[in-house]
Structure 1
Amino acid sequence: MTKLTEAQISDKLANLEGWELNDNALETTFEFQNFKEAFTLMTRIAFECEAQNHHPDWSNVYNKLNIRLNTHDAGGVTEKDFKLAETIEALVSTNPE
């Protein structure tokens, strides 16, 4: 995977509401109603991460999930990160409340 330029990343971020470029990675935070909802979504995301063989740096505190994506081998953000971010967004948007 080839590292994207800042201009390419900015263009792609226009289609990912709530995500931003921070210190050479894509980042976002989701807030849920409770811990169970946050952890349930983390589990669903984990299966997709395995399927894509791409794993986020993430943390969970009670109802908040912080996600950071970059491609370590490429030294920055690649198409792989955007693909996973789009998958995550799809899972969040279909998450039953």
Structure 2
Amino acid sequence: MSKMELRKAFGQALKHIRTSRGRTQEDFSEVSSRTYLSTLERGLKSPTLDKLDEIARELDIHPVSLLLHTYALHRPDQSIDQILCRVRKELSELS
């Protein structure tokens, strides 16, 4: 399986979550312009951490969920469970 460019994967993940929740780009006017959201969804730009948090809050999801969906698209050879297992292991090693 080919590796998708990370910005494009983020854009697809964002659009998928937004549309699955029945939200339009215009619904995000409190956190960003429709134009900016469109550039994110087309993979032309990457959000800052603050903007990622604002967008996730507007979608009523944890920012990590958006990132996890992104990385699952970016690396289709790894399942969400595999990614979560790795993250859990790495975080437990930090404790």
TM-score bracket, shorter-length normalisation: 0.3 to 0.5
Task: Return the index of the structure with the highest Cα Rg.
Answer: 2
- With the length of structure 1 as denominator, give the TM-score of the two structures: 0.34
TM-score, reference length from structure 2: 0.35
More helix by share: 2
Which protein has the bigger strand share? 1
